[in-house]
Amino acid sequence: MNWMTFSGPEIFYFGASLWFLLLTFTAKPESVNSGARGRTYLTAIFLASAGILVCLASVHAEGWLFIKAYKVDPFSQVFKTLLSLGLFLIVCICGQMTDIDERRHNEFFFLLFSCTLALMLLVSADHLLSIYLSLELSSYSLYILVALRKRRAQGLEAGIKYFLIGSFASAIMLFGMALLYSTCATAYLPEMAKVLPGMIGAPAVVTGLVFTLGGFFFKLAVFPFHSWAPDTYQGAPNQVAAYIATASKVAGIAIILRVLASAGQGSPYLVHILVILSVVSMTLGNLAAIAQKDLKRLLAFSTVAHSGYVLLAVLVMDASAYSAAIFYAVAILVMKFTAFMVVVELAPDGRNLRIDELAGLHRRSPLMALALLVALFSLAGIPPTIGFTGKFLIFTAAIQKGYVALVIIAMINVVISLYYYLLVIKAAYLLEPARTLPPLVLSFPKRLLAGLSIVTIVVAGFCPYWLIQIAQAAAQPLILGR
Amino acid sequence: MAGSPAHSVDLAALLAATALPFFSFLAIIVATRGRPKVSAGLSIGAAAVCLGCSIGLLAFHSGLSAPIEFSTSLIASSGLNIPFGFLVDKLNLLMIVVVSTICFLVQVYSLGYMAKDPGFSRYYAFMSLFTWAMMSLALSASLLQLYFFWELVGLSSYLLIGFWYEKWSATQAGKKAFVMTRAGDAAFFIGILLLFIHTGDLNIAHLDSRSALAGVPPSFITLSAILIFGGIVGKSAQFPLLTWLPDAMEGPTPVSALLHSATMVAAGVYLFARLYPFFSLSPTAMSVFLAIGTISMLLASTMAMVSRDIKKVWAYSTISQLGFMIMALGAGGYFAGVFHLTTHAGFKALLFLCSGVFIHRFETNDVFELGRLGARRMLIPMISMVLGAAALSGLPPLSGYFSKEAVMGSLAGLPDHVWLAAGLCGVFLTAYYSFRLIFILLFPRERVSGEPEGAHGAAHKAEYGAMALPLIILSTVTVFLGFFETPLRHFIGVAGEVGQAPTWPHTAALALAVAGAAVAWIEFGRKGAAQIGFVERIEPLHRLFAERWYIDHFYGLLVNRVVDRGIARLCELNDRKVIDGSIDGLCEATVESGRVVATLQTVMVQYRLLAIFAVLVLLALYYYY
Amino acid sequence: MIAPFSEVLVVAGILFALGAFCAVVRRNLIMIVLGIEIMLNAASIVFVGASLHLSNLDGQSFVLFILAVAATEVSVGLAIIVYAFRRTGSFDPGNFNLLG
Amino acid sequence: MQMEPASFPFLSAILLSCVVGMITIIVIPEEKKLLIKQVSVFFSGICLLLSVYVFFAFNRSAGGFQFVENVNWIPSLGISYFNGVDGFSLPNILLTGIVFFTGVLTMWELETRVKEYFALYFVLVAGVFGLFMSLDLFFIFVWYDVSLFPMYLLIAVWGTTRKEYGAMKLTLYLLAGSALILPAIIFLWAKSGLDTFSFVSLMHPGLFTPSVQKFAFLLLFIGFGILAAVWPFHTWSPDGHVAAPHGVSMVHAGVLMKIGAFGVLRLAIMLCPLGWIYWAKLMAVLAIIGIIYGALAGLRQTDLKYVIGYSSVSHMGVVGLGLSTVTVEGLNGAVFQMFAHGIMTALFFSSVGYIYDRTHTKNIPELGGLSRIVPVASAFFIVAALAGIGLPGLANFWGELVVFLAAFKVYPLFGVIAVVTLVVTALFMLRVVQKTFYGPANPRYAALRDVTPWLGVPRIILVAVLLILGLYPALLFNVIRTASVPFMNGLPR
C-alpha cells in the first residue's frame, strides 16, 4: 500500500504544523525581534506555497486508507488543492499581523496549518467517525485562532460564541450520526449510500440526517446554525476571519456534498427542509447585511446568504448541481479572499473596518478600490465575474430540476444583496473622507496579488470552461459513489 | 417614370421648384447665417426660380387633359408602400403659380420690411423652408406626402410666428398655432391612416378618380372625410380651431401676408379642392363642411367688426373668407372655391403688405393710431389698401367681386336658402368691417400729426421702394384678375357647373356690399361721425365679439385646468406617490426588516442556541405533520 | 442485550433534550458547556446501544473517540471561558454580547 | 435561418476596440486628461466606423444572420460565443456606434475623474454592443449585466440631481429585471432539451409548448420591459436620466432603453411567439398607458431632463405598441422608432449637457431666452424637440407613422389615443422650448459662449442622422425588413 504517495498533502501539512509547533517551543517569549518574525512569515509562505505543489502533485491520486474510512479521489484532491490555495492566499495577507501578539505568531501558523490539515482530512473522510474527528479538529483550531486577537474583548467574545454554538452544533451532529449509525448499521458513507435511499422515509433516518447536516451547516453558516458568523467575523482577527470565510467554507461545501450525495434524493421531506433552509438563509443573510456598518460583519451576513445559494445547488442533487457547487466553492474562495484582502490592507493595525472608513479609497488606492468593486460585484453575482458564473451554473442545475420559483427567489435576493454591496462601493468610490488620508502604499507583491485576484475573478467569470471541467471531474466520484 | 423628353423637362422643372428652396434653406442655416445679403439673395433666387418654373409649367400645360404623375417609392416595407412623387394637374398648376408669386413678392417686400432685423438670415431661411414645404405640398402625389409637407408648413408657420422670440406673446402665439393646427392634424392623420388601412392606397389621383374606393362602405368614407377635414379646420383656422390665426399676427407682417392669409391657411381649402371628388362622395360630410364654413365665416366677421388692430381685422377677415371658400366647395361650387382662393390670395396679401408698410413706418398696429399718425399720406399703400378692401368687399370691377359672385352663385344653387342668406349676411359684414377700417384710416378724428412723407432718408427710400413694388404688382393683379374668370373657368375645366343660376343673388350680394360700405361711411367716414360702430354700442355683444366668443377661454380652461392641473397632475402624483411611493416603500420596508433581522442577530448566545433547537423542533414537527 | 434498543433510544433522547435544555436555559458559561457534554453523552449512549444491537464494533470505537474529543472540548472551552472570567469576573453569557 | 459566416470578425473587432480602449485608458496616468479624451475619441471612432461599415456591408437582399462568428465556449452547457447581426440588431449596432462616439465628444469638457469615467463608459458600451450582436442567450445576459454594472458609478459619481437615489434606483430596478430574465433564459434552455443556449437553434416555432412560451414570455417581457420603461415599471427612467451625466444619459436613454425593447423582441418575441400572441393585448394596454402617461406627466415637469425622461417613456410606449401588434409593420415601425428615438434623445441630452455645463441649471424657470445668447446650441435642442413631436422630415415621424398604421389595423382605439397624444406631446415639447429658449434673454447668462465647431460635431452628426432618415427612411426600413418579414412568415398561426 503506497499510502505515502497519495496522502502526500496530509503528511506535508502535518509536518508543517509540527514544524511550527516546534518553533513555538523553542522561541523565547522575551526576544521576538522583527527578524524572527520575518523568518516565521517567510517559512509560512514557503510552506504554504510548497503545499500547493504537493497537492497538485497528488491531484490524480485515488485510493482508500484506514480500512476505507478515508477516501482519496479526485473530489477530495481538488478540494485539497483549493484548501492549500486558500491557505496560501491567507498566509499572503498575514505579513503584518499587528492584531496578534508577536509571541504568538508561531502558534498562529501552527493552528492555521493544523486547521488546514483537518479540513483536508475532512474532505477525504468517508466514515462518520473520520468526519466527526476532522471536523472537531478544525473547529478547535479555529476557536483558538479567533480568541487569539489582541483586542481581547472582541476576540474572546467571538471565541466564546463560536465555541458554544460550534460545540452545540457538533453535539447535535453527533447525535444525528448515532441515529444514522443505528439505523443503517454502518458508519461508512458508501455503505450508507446503499441502504439509505430505501429507508429515507423513516423518522430516525430523517432526524439523524438532519441532525448530522446540522454540524455541516454550522461550518457553512446555514440558518439556523449561522448565528456565530457575524460575531465571529467581527471579533476575530481579520486574517482569521478571512480564513473562516474562505478555506473553512470550501471544506464545508465539500463535506455537505459528500454526505448528501450518499443520502441520495429519495426523500421529498429532506429536499423540503433544504429548500426552506436555503431560502431562509439567503433572505435572512441578505436582509441583515443591509443594516451593517462593519464591513466584516457585512461580509459575514453575505456568507450566510451565499450558503443559501450553495444549498440550492446541494438540494438539486445531480451531477450538474454537484459540479456547480464545486465551482461555487472556487468562486467563494476567490471573491471572499479578495474582499478580505482589501479589509486587511486597509486596516494595517488590525482594527475592524467600518464601511464609511472606505471613503476616498478610489483616490488612496485605485487598485484596492477596483479589487473591492470586482469582488463585491462578483459576490452579488453580476457578470462577467466568477460569482455570476457560479450562480449561473447553480441556477441552471436547479431549473433543470424544475425549481424555477426557487431560482426567482434567489435572483430577488441577488437584487437585495446588490443594494448593500453598492452601499460599500459607494463608500469606496463616492464618499470623501472627513480629513484627507495619505495614499495607500502597497508593496509590489501585494499589488501583484490584488491584480491577480481581479484578473482571476473576471477571467474565470468570462472563460470558465476550464474550471467547469475540473469541477465536473471532481463531481464524478460523488455520482459513481452512489 | 417618364421617358419622353417633355416629361423630363417637366420633372426637372418640378424638382427645381421643390428642391431649390430646400437647398437654399440648408445653405442659409449651415453657411450664410452671418451674411444677410447672401442669404436673402439665395432665398429670393430660389423663389424666383420657383416662380419661373411654375409659370413655365402653367404655360406649357395650359391645355392639360389628364394629370401627370411622377412617383417613386420612399419606403416599402411589406404591406406598406408609400409612394412619393409629383402629381401635376390644373388645380395645382394654378396653386403653385399663386404660391410662388406671393412667395416671391413677399420675399422682395421683406427686403425692405426686415432690413434692420438682426435675424435677417434666419428669416430668409425660414421663408425658404416654407416655400419648399408649400410648393411640395401643392405638388404632392399622395395623401401621406401631402401630410408630410402639411406638417412642415405648420413648422415654418410656428417658426415664423415666433420669429421675434424675445417677445413672449409671439412665442405664445407660435406655440398656440402649432398645437391647435396639430390638434386638427391629429384628426387628419387618423383619417389618412383609416383610409390607408381600408383602401391600401393613398394616391390622390386614385382617390379622386374613386378607383381606390370601390367596395368601401359609405359610412366609412364619411368618417374618414370628416377626419381629414379636421386637418383643414386646423390649417385654415375654421371653427372650432379658429383662434390661433389672429394671434399668429404676432409674426412679422410679410409672414402674415404670405402664410396666414394668402397661401398656408389656404392650404386647407386647397386640400378640400384637391380631394373634392372624394369628399363629394359623402353628402353628409359635405353638409358638415358647409356648416363649419358658414359658422366660421360669420363668427370671424363679427370679431373683425370690433377689432382695433389692423392686422387682426385682416386676420379675422381671412378666416371668414376661407369660410366662404369652404362654403363654396361644400355647396358644390368647385370653381367658385378655387377662384375665390386665387383672388383672395392676391388681395389679402396686398392688404397685409399695405398694413405692413404702415406698421413699419409708424410702429403701431392700432388703426386709430395709424390714422392719427397720417397713414393716408402714404399714397401707394393707401390706394392699394382701398383697392384691396374694395376687392375684399366684393365691389366691381375688382377681382373679389367676380369670385364672390361665383361663391354666391354656388350657394344659390343649394335647395336650402339658409346658406345663401348666411352668405349674403357675410357679404354685408365683410364690406362693413373693411370700410370701417379704411374710413378710420382715411378720416382720423384727431388732427393728423407727423412729418411729411419725404422727410426720411435714402435708406428708408430704398426700403420703401422694395416694399412698394410688390404692392403695385399685387394691386394690378387685384384689378385685373377678375376679368380672367372665364379663361380660368375653362382652364380648371368645370364649365358646366355654373348652370343658369338666377341672377338675383348676385344683385343682392352687390347691394349688400354697397350697403355695408355705406353703413361704415355713416358710422366712420362722414364728417362728424363718432367712429363708434353699432356693435360697440351694445356692450354684451361687443364683449362677446372682442373676446372671440369666449373660444379661447374654453381652450384655456381645457388646457390649464383639465389637462395640466387635472389629468397631468394626477399622472404626476400617481408617479410620485403611488408608483414611486410603493417602490420606495418596498425598499424602505426591506431595509427596515433588514434592521430588525440584524438586531435579532445580536441577541445573547443562549438565545441563539435556543433558536437552533427551536428550528430543529419545528422541522421535526413539519415532518410529522 | 437486556434492554430493547428502542428504550435505549428513548433514554438517550431524554438525556439529549436535558443537555440541550441545560445549555439553553442556564445563564452560566460553564453550565452551557456542561449541557453540551451531556448531549455528547446522549450520543455516546446511542452509539453503544446501537453497537450492541447491531453487533458492530464501530459504535464502540466511536464512543472512545467521543470521550477524547469531549475532553479536548472541555479543555479548549474552559481555557477560553476561564480567560474570559479573569478579564470580566463573570460567567454570564449576557456579559459577552458587545459585538454587533 | 440563413447564416453567413464573417470573412473577418468585424463584430468581435467592435467589442475588442472597446476593450482595448478601456485598457489603454486605464494604463494612461490620471493627469493626462487630454490624452485620455483623445484616446477615447479614437477608439470610439473606430467602433463607429466599424459599425457603419457593418451597416452598409450587410447584404440586404440575403437577409438572415450575417457576420456570424461562432466559437464553442462552454460545450458542457451548450454555450458558445456566437455573434451575428440581422435586420433587427443591425440598426441598434449602428445606433450604439453613433451614440457612443457622440457621447464621448459630448463629455469632452469633463474635468473630474476623467480616466475612471471613460474607462467605465467603455465597459458600458462594450456591454451594449455585445448584447446587440450576441446570438447566445448566456452571452446576451452577460452583456446585459456588463452594461449595467458601470451604471451605478457613472451616475453616482458624475451625476447631478439626486444622483445617489437615481443611481441606486436605476441599478436595482434593472437588476430586478435581470432577476426575471435569467430564470427565463435557463428555463427555456431546460425546456428545449437541446442543451444549447444558441439563439438560432432555439428559435424554432414549435420547439416550446404554448404554456412554456406563455410563462417564459411573461418573465422576459417584464424583465426587459423594465429596461424599456414599460409602464408601470418606468419610474427609474426619468430619475435615472436626470441624475446621470449627459454622456451617460445619452447612452442610457439612447441605447440602454433600446436594449429593453430589443430584448423583448429578440428573446421574448422571437423565442416565444405563441406567448407573444397570447400576451399581445397586455403589451398593447401597457404601451398605450405609457404613451399617454409619459406625455401627461412630462407636461408637469420643470426640469429639462425630467421632461426628456418622460417623453422617453412616451416614445418607448410607441415602440411597445408596435411590438404588441403582431404584424410586420408593427415590428418594422418599432425597430425604426427605437433607432430614431435613440438618436433623438442622444441629441436632447447632448444639447442639455451643453446648456447645463454652462448655466449649471436644468431648471426651466431659471433658464429662458437662451436662443438669443447661444442660438446654435438652442437650435440643436429645438431640432430634437421637433423630432420628439414627430415632425415629418425627421426620423421619428416614420417610426411613429408605421407603428400607428399597424396599431390602427389591430387596435383602432389605441391608435386613435396614440395619435391624439401627439398633440399633448407637441404641447409640452413646445412649452419647454418656449420657456427655455424664447422670451427675453436672461442677463445672468449673457456671457455664455455658443457652441464651437468642435463641440458641435456630436450634435451635428445626430441632427444629420435624424434628417437623413427623415428624408430617406428606406435606408433603415430595407434593413429591418430582412428580419421582420421572414420572421412573421414563419410565425405559427
The answer to whether the Cβ–Cβ distance between B604 and C100 falls below 8 Å is no
The answer to whether the Cβ–Cβ distance between A133 and C84 falls below 8 Å is no
Query: What pLDDT does B455 receive?
Result: 45
Average pLDDT over residues B186-198: 88
Residues within 8 A of B (CB atoms), C 35-64 only: none
Q: Which of A59-63, B44-48, C24-28, C46-50 is predicted with the least confidence, judged by mean pLDDT?
A: A59-63
The answer to whether the Cβ–Cβ distance between B606 and C32 falls below 8 Å is yes
pLDDT-based confidence at D93, cuts 50/70/90? very high
Of C23, C96, C97, which is closest to B609 when you measure between CB atoms? C23
pLDDT-based confidence at B454, cuts 50/70/90? very low
D interface test, pick of B179, B188, B198, B560 with most D CB neighbours within 10 Å: B179
Q: Which of A170-184, B63-77, D322-336 is predicted with the least confidence, judged by mean pLDDT?
A: B63-77
Query: What pLDDT does A266 receive?
Result: 61
Query: Given phi > 0 = left and psi -120 to 50 = alpha, else beta, which region is D229?
Result: left
The answer to whether the Cβ–Cβ distance between A362 and D116 falls below 8 Å is yes
List of chain A residues whose C-beta atoms are within 8 Å of the C-beta of residue C16: 175
The answer to whether the Cβ–Cβ distance between B601 and A224 falls below 8 Å is no
List of chain B residues whose C-beta atoms are within 8 Å of the C-beta of residue A272: 622
Which chains sit next to B, with 3 or more Cβ pairs under 8 A?
A, C, D
B interface test, pick of D391, D400, D420 with most B CB neighbours within 10 Å: D391
Average pLDDT over residues D67-76: 88
Of D74, D175, D183, which is closest to A468 when you measure between CB atoms? D74
Q: Please, what sign has the CA dihedral across residues D190, D490, D478, B81?
A: negative
Query: What pLDDT does A93 receive?
Result: 86
Estimate to the nearest angstrom the gap between the alpha carbon of B472 and the chain centroid.
25
Give the start-to-end residue ranges of the domains of chain C. 7-92
Interface check for B605 against chain A (CB to CB < 8 A): the answer is yes
* B63 vs D372: which has the higher pLDDT: D372
Q: What is the radius of gyration, based on Cα positions, of chain B?
A: 30
Query: What pLDDT does D39 receive?
Result: 93
pTM (2 decimals)? 0.91
Query: What pLDDT does A353 receive?
Result: 85
Tens of pLDDT along D99-144?
999 999 988 888 888 898 999 999 999 999 999 999 999 999 999 9
Give the start-to-end residue ranges of the domains of chain A. 3-480
Tens of pLDDT along B567-581?
888 888 888 888 888
- Nearest chain A alpha carbon to C38: A171
Query: What pLDDT does D217 receive?
Result: 93
Q: Nearest CA to CA, how far is D67 from chain A (Å)?
A: 22
Tens of pLDDT along B376-435?
788 888 888 888 998 888 887 888 888 888 888 888 888 888 888 888 889 899 998 888
- Nearest chain C alpha carbon to B602: C100
* C99 vs D234: which has the higher pLDDT: D234
Q: Which of A345-349, D92-96, D391-395 is predicted with the least confidence, judged by mean pLDDT?
A: A345-349
List of chain A residues whose C-beta atoms are within 8 Å of the C-beta of residue D141: 383
Query: What pLDDT does B6 receive?
Result: 61
Query: What pLDDT does A3 receive?
Result: 58
3-state secondary structure labels for all residues of chain D: CCEEECCCCHHHHHHHHHHHHHHHHHHCCCCCHHHHHHHHHHHHHHHHHHHHHHHHHCCCCCCCEEEEEEEEEEHHHCEEEEEEECCCHHHHHHHHHHHHHHHHHHHHHCCCCHHHHHHHHHHHHHHHHHHHHECEHHHHHHHHHHHHHHHHHHHHHHCCCCHHHHHHHHHHHHHHHHHHHHHHHHHHHHHHCCCCCEHHHHCCCCCCCHHHHHHHHHHHHHHHHHHCCCCCCCCHHHHHHHHCCHHHHHHHHHHHHHHHHHHHHHHHHHHCHHHHHHHHHHHHHHHHHHHHHHHHHHHCCCEHHHHHHHHHHHHHHHHHHHHHCCCHHHHHHHHHHHHHHHHHHHHHHHHHHHHHHHHCCCEHHHCCCHHHHCHHHHHHHHHHHHHHHCCCCCHHHHHHHHHHHHHHHHCHHHHHHHHHHHHHHHHHHHHHHHHHHCCCCCHHHCCCCCCCHHHHHHHHHHHHHHHHHHHCCHHHHHHHHHHHHHHHHCCCC
Q: Is residue D20's pLDDT more than 90?
A: yes
Query: What pLDDT does D51 receive?
Result: 93
The CATH fold assigned to C7-92 is: Helix Hairpins (1.10.287)
Report whether the peptide linkage leading into residue D245 is cis, meaning its omega lies within 30 degrees of zero.
no
Query: What pLDDT does B2 receive?
Result: 40
The answer to whether the Cβ–Cβ distance between B78 and D328 falls below 8 Å is yes
Tens of pLDDT along B503-533?
787 888 888 888 888 888 888 877 777 777 7
Q: Is residue D487's pLDDT more than 80?
A: yes
Q: Is residue B79's pLDDT more than 70?
A: no
Query: What pLDDT does B1 receive?
Result: 39
Query: What pLDDT does D124 receive?
Result: 92
- Nearest chain A alpha carbon to D196: A396
Query: What pLDDT does B75 receive?
Result: 63
Of A133, A157, A181, which is closest to C58 when you measure between CB atoms? A181
Average pLDDT over residues B532-560: 82
Of A152, A204, A235, which is closest to C99 when you measure between CB atoms? A235
Domain count, chain D: 1
Q: Is residue D42's pLDDT more than 90?
A: yes
pLDDT-based confidence at B458, cuts 50/70/90? low
Range of the domain at D320: 3-489
Bridge partners for B205 per DSSP: none
Average pLDDT over residues D366-380: 85
Of B587, B599, B605, which is closest to A165 when you measure between CB atoms? B605
Residues within 8 A of A (CB atoms), D 315-344 only: none
Of B598, B611, B623, which is closest to A288 when you measure between CB atoms? B598
Interface check for D71 against chain A (CB to CB < 8 A): the answer is no
Spans in chain A with pLDDT lower than 70: 1-6, 27-37, 264-266, 480-482
Tens of pLDDT along B223-279?
888 999 999 998 888 888 888 888 888 888 888 888 888 888 888 889 988 888 888
Interface check for A407 against chain D (CB to CB < 8 A): the answer is yes
Q: Nearest CA to CA, how far is D474 from chain B (Å)?
A: 5
Interface check for C92 against chain B (CB to CB < 8 A): the answer is no
